[in-house]
């Protein structure tokens, strides 16, 4: 007798091996049988007919910021509904293992655009742990929807050991005792099963709050000596470094990538965040694969983290993190909690002159292409500007500079002005090349963060659609089997997780996909309130006909847009320890 049967679907095992029509029997959280002939359904409480559909291992999302949300709403249903059955926490040097509520609010509030007050209250409400092992134990008491694994955040450890103020001062270095404590906390996290450490060097990620507002994250103040000592621990233990290099400093990128090289030592697993085909620097799309080839050719174990879909972002007024990368934009965001002062600043002619100068600077490393002719207005009380770009509005208003047109509308309408642009990954042919590159890891959804800015919960489904569409074209770039492997087993194997495969004896994380609905509905976004964040309306994806069934550890949790009552009320997911 089986707990569930998935019958007659095209089965993919997550290794890249050829797919085949099979019948799967699930029992006690494992795949108990895979058969070419129908299984005995007698006494089986759930039978899913997957005829004409795909049965794949659960998708792994390697880059999320669910660290706060998982404490309050552990079902994480926005990811689960799109076939994600394992999520990684602790990205970008940020985790909630060691810091208290106030510091967590400063770390997450502005960088990840999660309202600070909810970060603080969540931590004060549920935090019962002081160590990495206790944190894991606390997660294991929650009714987790998907499986959870985690990085330990470098900024989290550094702020807890040194204090947020001292850890974000250029002239302050950790004492010998503090550095030893930072190392010990990393070791303790690895002992508890964390997949590695995340460390950020990007300088436009700024702190929230009052005391240290607008300083960069604590990990950006670490010296090369501190980073080397922590990397040595990761290298010795075979765990991963997730890094965010400073895009304005080629030295930062190169040093983080080169740290993976293992010519005379054990390679360090390094996964660097990337906007691999950024509009601002088109040539970067060729540079990234070349760097990966060189580093791995020198016995490195190096990967780029890459979102395999267009990086389209939305903004309410000026509340978009890319403005942090230049001085005038950061000055406005510094005043985000003081709207009258912010509005006054944006009306000041000296400020506007500085903004225009920053905007017109088109050369050098940057994330945003700074082109208001490539920014569409999608909502505004002034209906005459809807559907137009800020550049066009400027022309309509007598030839105003695009910056002045933008600032005028923000001053007048504030966050009632909503607009969008695409930052990177805009060229389909380049996306195809990167999706097949062995130095690229597919993920980087940022799920749980930037709630009003973007929604990539269904990135895996969107990749599968593109692969399926190209399969019969003159230039297929991946087989469906290879694409499934890239989203599942390849990631699980690299991070050392018991996930991502669907063979007899494997964890029964399975997703049933209807390929007939891998269609244009995947490109749309909707909005849905987040109860635990004061019913803030966030961007989500709603393509419910695509995913017919989701199983986590053999338990049916979601299907056809509807969550099973078990999701979020009983623990279906586990904390996955790195092996």
Instruction: Answer yes or no: are the C-beta atoms of 359 and 370 closer than 8 Å.
Output: yes
What residues does 270 pair with on adjacent strands? Answer: 241, 302
**Residue carrying the six token digits 């040595």:** 232
How far does Cα 436 stand from its chain's mean position? 20
- When mean pLDDT is compared across 35-44, 95-104, 360-369, 441-450, the lowest value belongs to 360-369
Q: Could you tell me which residue, 472 or 358, shows the higher pLDDT?
A: 358
Q: How confident is the model at residue 247 (pLDDT cuts 50, 70, 90)?
A: confident
Q: How confident is the model at residue 276 (pLDDT cuts 50, 70, 90)?
A: confident
Average pLDDT over residues 20-40: 98
Phi first, then psi: give them for residue 344, nearest 5 degrees. -60, -45
What is the sign, positive or negative, of the torsion defined by CA atoms of 227, 123, 211, 344? positive
Nearest to 481 by CA among 12, 59, 52, 22: 12
Instruction: Give 557: exposed, middle or buried? Use CB within 10 Å, 0-12, 13-18, 19+.
Output: buried
Of the chain, the percentage scoring pLDDT greater than 70 comes to 100
pLDDT score for 472: 84
pLDDT score for 362: 80
Phi first, then psi: give them for residue 271, nearest 5 degrees. -125, 115
pLDDT in tens, 47-105: 999 999 999 999 999 999 999 999 999 999 999 999 999 999 999 999 999 999 999 99
pLDDT score for 346: 98
Of the chain, the percentage scoring pLDDT greater than 90 comes to 94
Rounded CA separation 259/301 (Å): 10
DSSP code for 148: E
Average pLDDT over residues 8-30: 98
Average pLDDT over residues 19-41: 98
Average pLDDT over residues 467-491: 95
Phi first, then psi: give them for residue 346, nearest 5 degrees. -70, -10
Q: How confident is the model at residue 523 (pLDDT cuts 50, 70, 90)?
A: very high
pLDDT score for 364: 79
Rounded CA separation 450/330 (Å): 17
pLDDT score for 556: 98
pLDDT at 248 over 90: no
pLDDT at 572 over 90: yes
pLDDT at 387 over 90: yes
Q: How confident is the model at residue 275 (pLDDT cuts 50, 70, 90)?
A: confident
pLDDT in tens, 539-555: 999 999 999 999 999 99
pLDDT at 304 over 90: yes
Rounded CA separation 571/399 (Å): 59
pLDDT at 212 over 90: yes
**Highest mean pLDDT range out of 240-249, 251-260, 504-513?**
504-513
Whole-number average pLDDT of the chain: 96
Q: How confident is the model at residue 251 (pLDDT cuts 50, 70, 90)?
A: confident
Average pLDDT over residues 228-244: 97
pLDDT in tens, 361-384: 988 788 899 999 999 999 999 999
Nearest to 34 by CA among 17, 45, 43: 17
pLDDT at 473 over 90: no
Q: How confident is the model at residue 170 (pLDDT cuts 50, 70, 90)?
A: very high
Average pLDDT over residues 481-504: 98
Rounded CA separation 342/415 (Å): 12
Q: Is the pTM higher than 0.95? A: yes
Q: How confident is the model at residue 360 (pLDDT cuts 50, 70, 90)?
A: very high
Which domains can be identified in the chain, with CATH numbers?
56-312+424-563 (3.20.20.140), 316-420 (no CATH)
């Amino acid at each position: 007798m089986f707990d569930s049967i998935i019958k007659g679907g095209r089965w993919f095992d997550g290794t890249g091996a050829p797919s085949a029509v099979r019948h799967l029997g699930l029992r006690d959280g494992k795949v108990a049988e895979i058969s070419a002939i129908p299984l005995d359904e007698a006494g089986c409480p759930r039978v899913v007919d997957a005829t004409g559909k795909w049965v794949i291992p659960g998708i792994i999302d390697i880059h999320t910021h669910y660290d706060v949300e998982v404490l309050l709403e552990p079902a994480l249903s926005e990811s689960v509904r799109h076939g994600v059955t394992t999520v990684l926490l602790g990205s970008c040097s940020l985790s909630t293992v060691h810091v208290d509520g106030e510091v967590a609010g400063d770390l997450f509030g502005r960088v990840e655009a999660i309202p600070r007050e909810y970060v603080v209250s969540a931590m004060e409400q549920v935090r019962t742990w002081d160590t990495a092992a206790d944190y894991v134990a606390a997660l294991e008491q929650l009714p987790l929807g998907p499986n959870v694994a985690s990085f330990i955040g470098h900024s989290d450890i550094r702020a807890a050991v040194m204090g947020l103020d001292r850890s974000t001062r250029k002239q302050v270095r950790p004492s010998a005792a503090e550095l030893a404590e930072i190392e010990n906390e990393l070791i303790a996290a690895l002992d508890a099963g964390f997949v590695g450490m995340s460390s950020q060097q990007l300088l436009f990620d700024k702190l929230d709050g009052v005391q240290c507002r607008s300083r960069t994250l604590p990990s950006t103040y670490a010296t090369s000596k501190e980073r080397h000592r922590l990397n040595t621990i990761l290298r010795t233990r075979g765990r991963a470094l997730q890094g965010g290099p400073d895009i304005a400093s080629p030295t930062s990128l190169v040093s983080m990538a080169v740290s993976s090289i293992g010519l005379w030592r054990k390679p360090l697993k390094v996964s660097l965040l990337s906007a691999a085909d950024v509009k601002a620097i088109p040539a970067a799309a060729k540079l990234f694969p070349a760097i990966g080839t060189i580093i791995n050719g020198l016995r490195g174990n190096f990967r780029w983290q890459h979102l395999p879909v267009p990086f389209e972002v939305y903004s309410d007024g000026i509340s978009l993190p890319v403005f942090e990368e230049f001085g005038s934009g950061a000055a406005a965001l510094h005043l985000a909690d003081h709207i009258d002062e912010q509005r006054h600043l944006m009306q000041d002619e000296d400020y506007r002159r500085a903004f225009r100068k920053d905007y017109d600077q088109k050369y050098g490393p940057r994330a945003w292409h700074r082109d208001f002719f490539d920014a569409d207005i999608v909502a505004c009380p002034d209906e005459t500007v809807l559907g137009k770009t800020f550049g066009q509005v400027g022309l309509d208003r007598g030839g105003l500079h695009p910056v002045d047109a933008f600032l005028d509308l923000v001053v007048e309408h504030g966050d009632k002005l909503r607009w969008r642009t695409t930052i990177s990954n805009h060229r389909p042919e380049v996306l195809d090349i990167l999706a097949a590159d062995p130095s690229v890891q597919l993920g980087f959804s940022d799920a749980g963060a930037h709630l009003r800015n973007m929604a990539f919960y269904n990135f895996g489904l969107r990749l599968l659609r593109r692969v399926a569409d190209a399969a019969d074209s003159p230039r297929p770039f991946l087989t469906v089997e290879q694409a499934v492997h890239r989203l599942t087993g390849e990631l699980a194997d690299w991070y050392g997780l018991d996930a991502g495969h669907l063979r007899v004896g494997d964890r029964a994380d399975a997703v049933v996909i209807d390929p007939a609905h891998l269609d244009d509905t995947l490109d749309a976004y909707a909005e849905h309130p987040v109860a635990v964040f004061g019913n803030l309306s966030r961007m989500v994806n709603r393509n419910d006909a695509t995913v017919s069934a989701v199983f986590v550890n053999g338990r049916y949790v979601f299907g056809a847009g509807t969550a099973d009552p078990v999701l979020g009320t009983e623990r279906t997911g586990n904390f996955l320890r790195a092996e």
